[in-house]
Amino acid sequence: KNEVEQSPQNLTAQEGEFITINCSYSVGISALHWLQQHPGGGIVSLFMLSSGKKKHGRLIATINIQEKHSSLHITASHPRDSAVYICAARQLGNQFYFGTGTSLTVIP
Amino acid sequence: ETGVTQSPTHLIKTRGQQVTLRCSSQSGHNTVSWYQQALGQGPQFIFQYYREEENGRGNFPPRFSGLQFPNYSSELNVNALELDDSALYLCASSLVGREAFFGQGTRLTVV
């Protein structure tokens, strides 16, 4: 069993749809990160969460520490949001455990 | 632009050879970690360096080794390359407990 589980693995949405990606983790964490990876490999950090909720533009990330669960929401999705979204649990020692990613395709 | 630079961006090596990958951390970041991402998989933790000392290691054999320099830049060395070592290698730099910044990665192909 992986330390970090994401769902769904693949997601196709129509432009404008509201999208939710879920992440559950089993390790103790200092923070939970949501990352975006485009084809070619480069990873961009979207959010770092240790509690509650954060919003950046059309992106919202929430975390429930007691339930060890986090969600990434995208409002009014756009084709440029198409990417792989990775949930990463950061342990106290700074080590990350990554989910396998959710591949999102937004169709115009 | 994350301030973390990896080189080279792409590399092809032959089985049995040795390879060195480099990571230039964001200024002031004293922690660097390396990850291997096989095609279609999430990244896997290789090891982490803090102030030039290894302070964490994942489930990788000893032929994966590293260095962190006084300026906090870092190297990942892989000896006796195997076909399964073909992957994207990512480094991430941070201050302890603070947000991590990732490089663009080095895509290694072993033939």
Side-chain-facing half-sphere of A9: CA atoms under 13 Å: 4
* Joined tokens for residue A35: 């990352």
Could you tell me the pLDDT band of residue A20, with boundaries at 50, 70 and 90? very high
Instruction: Write out the E strands in chain A.
Output: 4-7, 10-14, 19-25, 31-37, 43-49, 52-56, 59-64, 69-74, 83-90, 96-98, 102-107
Contact between A62 and A70 (Cβ < 8 Å): yes
Locate tokens 């000896």: which residue? B79
A33-81 pLDDT, tens digit per residue, is: 999 998 777 788 899 999 999 999 999 999 999 999 999 999 999 999 9
B11-23 pLDDT, tens digit per residue, is: 999 999 999 999 9
Question: Distance, in angstroms, between A80 CA and closest chain B CA?
Answer: 18
Tell me how far apart the alpha carbons of residues A80 and A82 are, in angstroms, rounded to a whole number: 5
Q: Is the pLDDT of residue A1 over 70?
A: no
Taking any CB pair shorter than 8 Å as contact, residues of chain B touching chain A are: 2, 31, 33, 35, 37, 40-45, 48, 50, 55-56, 58, 88, 90, 92, 94, 96-97, 99-105, 107
Q: Is the pLDDT of residue B98 over 80?
A: no
pLDDT value of residue B10? 93
* Joined tokens for residue B16: 């049995």
Tell me how far apart the alpha carbons of residues B78 and B47 are, in angstroms, rounded to a whole number: 13
pLDDT value of residue B2? 63
| Longest Cα separation, chain B | 38
| Longest Cα separation, chain A | 42
Contact between B91 and B33 (Cβ < 8 Å): yes
pLDDT value of residue A95? 77
pLDDT value of residue A102? 95
Q: Is the pLDDT of residue B29 over 90?
A: no
Q: Is the pLDDT of residue B110 over 80?
A: yes
A43·B58 Cβ contact <8 A: no
In eight-state DSSP terms, residue A76 is: S
Which comes out higher in pLDDT, residue B72 or A94?
A: B72
Among the partner residues B44, B99, B107, nearest to A41 by beta-carbon distance: B107
Per the prediction, chain A carries an average pLDDT of 92
Q: Is the pLDDT of residue A25 over 80?
A: yes
Residue range B82-108: mean pLDDT, rounded: 89
In eight-state DSSP terms, residue B85 is: G
Q: Is the pLDDT of residue B61 over 70?
A: yes
Say if strands B87-94 and B101-102 run parallel, antiparallel, or are unpaired.
Answer: antiparallel
